């Protein structure tokens, strides 16, 4: 979402909250930011069902928490922080760690994606790169997704990654991102994904 659109959303949400219409404000936030947050969750969780579950959790938390959003807080980082925490919590739940069997529909989806692929080498590379991303910690996956996939500015990523703990500085994240890029590049070269 462009900065101008984000500013308009924040203005609209604040006006709706001031009028006491928290439901309309939450609806506006979820409709505007929900698709991008869902893409972020898919990138971090690497599972459509888990991403959908996490999006439901995020939507609930936005719905219930929006009226208590502190004045001056930026809306988009606040929503992504909720998504970041929901993704971490979902991954940490013990019942999610058990092996999952493929449902009938998943096998069909997989077969369809293979049929649609016109470049098998590119597909193998994308799969291998996705595998590399899965090897990252949830925090590194989030950092990579927020910067590369979502294109958030460093200040907003710092807000998201700070969560409820110690504040993270944008410069520290930039350095961490550079080290992460170097590490991924070395791994990709080692596995023959890039030259």
The predicted-structure confidence for 22-46, as pLDDT tens digits, reads as follows 899 999 999 999 999 999 998 888 8
CATH of the domain at 183: 1.20.140.160
Where does the pLDDT of residue 117 fall: very low under 50, low under 70, confident under 90, or very high at 90 and above? Answer: very low
Give the residue carrying structure tokens 């410069």: 171
Q: Is residue 124 part of a domain?
A: no
- The number of domains in the chain is 1
Q: Is residue 113 part of a domain?
A: no
Residue 166 has pLDDT above 50, yes or no: yes
The predicted-structure confidence for 65-94, as pLDDT tens digits, reads as follows 998 887 778 899 999 999 999 998 888 774
Q: Is residue 41 part of a domain?
A: yes
* Mean pLDDT of the residues in the chain: 81
As a whole number of angstroms, the distance between CA 99 and CA 134 comes to 16
Q: Region of 99 please: left (phi>0), alpha (psi -120 to 50) or beta.
A: beta
pLDDT at 175: 95
Residue 119 has pLDDT above 70, yes or no: no
66 DSSP 8-state letter: G
Higher-confidence position of 128 and 178: 178
Where does the pLDDT of residue 55 fall: very low under 50, low under 70, confident under 90, or very high at 90 and above? Answer: very high
Q: Is residue 38 part of a domain?
A: yes
pLDDT at 33: 92
162: exposed, middle or buried (Cβ count in 10 Å: 0-12, 13-18, 19+)? middle
As a whole number of angstroms, the distance between CA 178 and CA 167 comes to 20
User: What's the count of helices (H) and strands (E) in the chain, helices before strands?
Assistant: 9, 0
pTM attached to this predicted model:
0.66
Q: Is residue 49 part of a domain?
A: yes
Q: Is residue 120 part of a domain?
A: no
Four-CA torsion 144, 146, 152, 154, nearest 10 degrees: -60
Range of the domain at 168: 3-100+136-188
The predicted-structure confidence for 1-30, as pLDDT tens digits, reads as follows 677 788 899 999 999 999 999 899 999 999
Residue 113 has pLDDT above 60, yes or no: no
The predicted-structure confidence for 149-158, as pLDDT tens digits, reads as follows 888 999 999 9
Q: Is residue 148 part of a domain?
A: yes
Closest CA to 136 of 45, 9, 59, 16: 45
The full length of the chain comes to: 195
Contact 79, 58 (CB under 8 A): yes
Contact 180, 144 (CB under 8 A): yes
């Amino acid at each position: 979402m462009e900065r101008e659109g984000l500013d308009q959303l924040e203005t609209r949400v604040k006006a709706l909250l001031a009028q006491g219409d928290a439901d309309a404000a939450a609806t506006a936030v979820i409709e505007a930011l929900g698709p991008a947050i869902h893409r972020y969750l898919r990138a971090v969780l690497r599972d459509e069902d888990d991403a959908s579950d996490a999006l439901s959790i995020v939507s609930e938390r936005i719905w219930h928490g929006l009226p208590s959003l502190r004045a001056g807080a930026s809306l988009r980082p606040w929503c992504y922080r909720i998504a970041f925490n929901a993704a971490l919590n979902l991954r940490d739940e013990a019942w999610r760690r058990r092996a999952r069997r493929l449902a009938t529909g998943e096998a069909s989806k997989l077969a369809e994606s293979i049929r649609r692929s016109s470049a098998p080498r590119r597909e193998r590379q994308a799969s291998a790169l996705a595998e590399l991303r899965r090897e990252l910690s949830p925090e590194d996956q989030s950092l990579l997704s927020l910067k590369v996939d979502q294109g958030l500015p460093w200040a907003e990523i710092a807000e998201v990654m700070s969560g409820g703990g110690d504040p993270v500085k944008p410069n520290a994240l930039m350095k961490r991102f550079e080290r992460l890029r170097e590490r991924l590049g070395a791994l990709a070269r080692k596995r023959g994904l890039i030259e």
